[in-house]
Amino acid sequence: MKKYIYLFIAVLIFASCDKLEGPFMTDNIINPIDTSTNSFVKKILIEDFTGHTCPNCPDAARELDAIHEIYGDQIIGMAVHVGKTFARPFPLGTGKFEYDFRTTWGETWDSFFGIGTAGLPKGMINRIDYPNDEHRKGKNEWGAAVQAELNKDVDLGIVISSNISGESGTISINTKVLNNISGSYNLVVCLTEDTIINWQKDGQVEVENYEHKHVLRTVLNSEWGEQLTASTSLLSGDNFTHTFNINLTSLEQFNIDYSKNTLFQGNGNAGGWNADNMNIVAYIYNTITKEILQVEETHLNN
């Protein structure tokens, strides 16, 4: 008789089944936090590892857009083109996919975090869940990870200011500690570029005028950045400022040379930067866990 009871219990478990009828879209309205006020909010960096001949990558880029649409400027995107398979440019004269979006910093992160070997597209959300292989997330995992990140404390605030005229100028990053925290933290400052119109494979179609958004162009202080402070005990109210002198022409030339001389099938076609579409992205991460605690973004030319 006992056995029948087991089976009966089993049958009960199966009674659950959630068939949905439309409309499928919820009528929840999420009002993004107004990030323009002075108080600091938690911001999230989504690093979208991608490639211009990766057919599924635009789906991930659209997912990032959809997340941005919901959470507004709390979401900061960065498209990192990496690898030999999907990001290598076609030889000059082919007529398509000739641009080399790759950078030395992107390649380093890709190899360190093992992204490309796991297949593109993949992304990292504030680099959480490293190193147990859960840090490289498929696009359908991004939304849930973002939700979890938004619930975390805001421990740091970043203010970016820049003074660029022509091709050169200074960028200054001011970091404010909002809660007492301990640990070793590094600051990384990058430039990204929006509205780059170039080829992209999108599903079965090769799109000539695809709009590439927030493409990683350069990192101003090496792929792992620099110490925020020598102290491992950060107290609320602490304040740190880091200043960078930049020259866009030489930064651009670095990428051209790197493509030509170092990258797999690189062709040196990595220039054509447009400072008007560029953004400064600054983030601070824990050097042990790699988790990004805070990130900020501003236009290069204010």
Partner 1 sequence: MRKLISFLFLLPLIGIAQNNSGEIHGDFNLSLQSYKDDIKIDAIGADEVILNNAYLNINYIKGNFSTGIRYESYLNALADYDPEFKGNGIPYRFATYNLEGLEITAGNFYEQFGSGLIFRSYEEKGLGIDNAMDGVRLKYSPFSGISLKTFIGKSRTYFTYADGIFRGLDGEVNINDAFGLESKTAIILGGSFISRYQQRANPKFNLPQNVSAYAGRLNIIKGGWNYYGEYAYKINDPANSLQENEMNYASGSAFTNSITFSKKGFGVTAEMHRSDNMTFKSDRDKDGKAYLINYIPTLSKPHAYTLLALYPCATQADGELGFQIDLFYKIKKGTLFGGKYGTKLNFNYSRINALNSGGITLNSEDLKGSFLNDNTDHTPMLISIKGEELYFKDINLEINKKINKKIKTNFVIANQTYNKDFLEGHTPGDYGVINSTIAVLDVSYKIKKGHTIRMELQELLAKQLEHAEENEEGSWSMALVEYTISPHWFFAVQDMYNWGNEDVEKQLHYVNVNAGFIKGSNRFSIGYGKKREGIFCVGGVCKLVPSSNGFSLNISSSF
Q: Give residues in contact with partner 1 (CB under 8 A).
A: 3-4, 6-7, 10-11, 13-14, 16-20, 22-26, 28, 30, 55, 58-59, 62-63, 66-67, 69-70, 114, 117-119, 133, 138-141, 143-144, 147, 201-207
> CB-wise, 211 or 226, nearer to partner 1?
211
Taking phi first (over 0 means left), then psi (-120 to 50 degrees means alpha), and beta for anything else, what does residue 290 get? Answer: left
**What is the rounded CA–CA span in Å between residue 63 and residue 11?**
39
> CB-wise, 43 or 136, nearer to partner 1?
136
Instruction: Report which secondary-structure segment, H or E, holds 292.
Output: strand 292-299
> CB-wise, 138 or 183, nearer to partner 1?
138
- Residue 85 C-beta: closest distance to partner 1, Å: 11
Q: How many CB atoms lie within 10 A of CB 147?
A: 14
Instruction: Classify strands 168-177 and 196-202 as parallel, antiparallel or unpaired.
Output: unpaired
Tokens of 67: 């997340």
- Residue 152 C-beta: closest distance to partner 1, Å: 17
- Residue 37 C-beta: closest distance to partner 1, Å: 23
Q: How far is CA 151 from the centre of its chain?
A: 19
> CB-wise, 34 or 65, nearer to partner 1?
65
DSSP code per residue over 151-217: TS---EEEEEEEEEETTEEEEEEEEEE-S-EES-EEEEEEEEE--EEEEEEETTEEEEEEEE-SEEE
- Residue 47 C-beta: closest distance to partner 1, Å: 18
> CB-wise, 144 or 288, nearer to partner 1?
144
- Residue 80 C-beta: closest distance to partner 1, Å: 20
> CB-wise, 16 or 38, nearer to partner 1?
16
> CB-wise, 2 or 166, nearer to partner 1?
2
- Residue 117 C-beta: closest distance to partner 1, Å: 5
DSSP code per residue over 119-163: -SSEEEETTTTTTTT-SSB-HHHHHHHHHHHHTS---EEEEEEEE
- Residue 248 C-beta: closest distance to partner 1, Å: 34
